[in-house]
Amino acid sequence: MRRRPLAAFALGAATVAGFAPFGIFILPFLTLAWLLRAWRDAAPARAALLGYAWGLGFFLAGVSWVYVSLKVFGGMPMPLAALATLLFCALLAVFPAAAGYGFARLRSGAAGRDALLAAGLWALAEWLRGWVLTGFPWLILGYSQSPPSPLAGFAPVLGVYGIGLLVALAAALLATGTRRELLPIAAFAGVGFVLHGIAWTQPVGAPLTVALLQGDIPQGLKWDPQRATLSLETYAALAHGHAADLTVLPETAVPLFFDETPRELLADLTEHGPALIGVAVRMRQDGMVGGYTNGAVAVSRRGAADFDVQAYAKRHLVPFGEYAPPGFSWFFRLASIPMSDFTAGPPRQAPLAVAGQKIAPNICYEDLFGEELIRALPAATLLVNMSNTAWFGDSLAQPQHLQIARMRAMETGRPMLRATNTGMTAAIAPDGGVAAVLAPFSTGALVVETQGYAGATPFVRYGNTAAVMLALAACLPALLRRKIARSADSLIL
């Protein structure tokens, strides 16, 4: 019994192999089944401890790249960077701990009812992690079920949290140890397979070619004023050498404010057609400059030296990376993070009309928040992610982020195009398949032909509502039983 927390920690860490780049999608079912079985005979405090140990191992193994960004690129002293990473993972581990505590308090001993309860509480804990304190929905269990997992077919209907609910329910059924529980698991797989074959959206408009540029600019040089020309010349050369209907640059590819960007560079980038450029944009109100945004600016030629400009401002900023939460301004005195005082854009922004498409940009980890992305749908025909994951070095962050983008494509029934500084630059089909990808840490352009899509999946219409309602419904039998038991006790007394 004393070794169970260590086993939970190890199994939580092993679960990371269920996600990209390893992709052993069956593994989370098994490791979570062990945890849920351990909860069945544990007191509430013990169940919380086991959930916490599992979660701590899971997050320390899965998001260890946070240390890289703080120490290597943020300049934070090693002990403080290690402590900050540990505290961050320790905070995230509270969510599986809370699910364990709730399960131990509400379980009834009936296998089916307890399986539903465990799955519902797990899914609700993941959903809460996605928005509490601005949210960090990285490594949500459903991401492990990208194709070829048959559960990927549920993405357009239930979204990533709904898939996580199904994984947790299958794990809870496995934890009962009876063969009859394998039937519903097989049913999940069969239904997912059928759903994956449904075309929820339809092609619209003419196909277009897109050049996704990857400059591979070292993070240590990116914001050095003496090296600014490195970025400008790299992206100008890539755009010039790869003709396309639309050229897309990564997040903050131009290390200047947009109003400082040389007109010659804009001309080079739009030589073959419009360009979508990652660049900081100053905000102006009443003629005065008031802050700046992390922007995606669409530039189209109107004449030899005139340009039409549309802009998107990043809505969901990264705490401690793009702004300091109240009371944490001291953090930036320990870490050297340039351009770390952005202003968030408005929650709802119209798609950008570019190259005959209606493009909904999202910047960096905004694509973690599927319910925020669908605000631009069904109007938008194409999703474009612009990222700079150079902050995390050669780590799990890049393949994990690509897997997240695949889920957004499936949820929305739209292609997702990714232009990144160091990887992984890719074109993703509406069914979540990776059509093409550039090697990470290489300089190049990925030229792909893509197609806009119209229509709305169930997820686009209802967001996470269906998943949350199902999770609550899964908990309902246990809650009703507890209420009935309390009523009976009061009558006896």
pLDDT in tens, 382-427: 999 999 988 888 999 999 999 999 999 999 999 999 999 998 999 9
What's the CA gap between 60 and 440, in Å, rounded?
23
Mean pLDDT throughout 145-168?
98
Cα–Cα distances (Å) from 102 to 44, 113, 211, in that order, read 7, 14, 50
* Residues labelled as active-site residues: 251, 314, 364
Long-range contacts of 234-238 (CB under 8 A, 24+ apart): 234/443, 235/265, 235/269, 236/265, 236/268, 236/269, 238/211, 238/213, 238/443, 238/444, 238/445
- List the beta bridge partners of residue 275: 247, 299
Write the DSSP symbol of residue 289: E
pLDDT tens digits, 298-339: 999 987 678 999 999 999 998 877 876 766 665 656 666 666
Write the DSSP symbol of residue 73: I
- Looking at the chain, the whole-number percentage of residues with pLDDT higher than 90 is 80
Angle at which helix 155-175 crosses helix 182-196, to 10 degrees, equals: 160
pLDDT tens digits, 268-296: 999 999 999 999 999 875 544 568 999 99
Please tell me the predicted confidence (pLDDT) of residue 339.
61
CATH topology of domain 204-461: Nitrilase/N-carbamoyl-D-aminoacid amidohydrolase (3.60.110)
Residue 133: pLDDT over 90? no
Mean pLDDT throughout 46-73?
94
**Of 271, 351, 283, 280, whose CA–CA distance to 307 is shortest?**
271
Please tell me the predicted confidence (pLDDT) of residue 288.
47
pTM of the model: 0.94
Q: Mean pLDDT score of the chain, rounded to an integer? A: 92
pLDDT tens digits, 443-455: 999 999 999 999 9
Please tell me the predicted confidence (pLDDT) of residue 391.
83
At 367, the pLDDT band (50, 70, 90 cuts) reads very high
Mean pLDDT throughout 234-257?
96
Contacts of 162 (CB under 8 A, 6+ apart): 123, 142, 154, 464, 466, 467, 470
Phi, psi of 80, rounded to the nearest 5 degrees: -70, -40
Tokens in use for 221?
Answer: 């040089």
Phi-psi domain of 205 (left: phi exceeds 0; alpha: psi -120 through 50; beta: other): left
Please tell me the predicted confidence (pLDDT) of residue 493.
54
With beta carbons less than 8 A apart as the criterion, state whether 431 and 439 touch.
Answer: no
Contacts of 351 (CB under 8 A, 6+ apart): 358, 359, 360, 376, 379, 380, 381
- Looking at the chain, the whole-number percentage of residues with pLDDT higher than 70 is 93
What's the CA gap between 493 and 491, in Å, rounded?
5
| Residue intervals in the chain for CATH 3.60.110.10 | 204-461
With beta carbons less than 8 A apart as the criterion, state whether 263 and 227 touch.
Answer: no
What's the CA gap between 135 and 137, in Å, rounded?
6
What's the CA gap between 239 and 70, in Å, rounded?
32
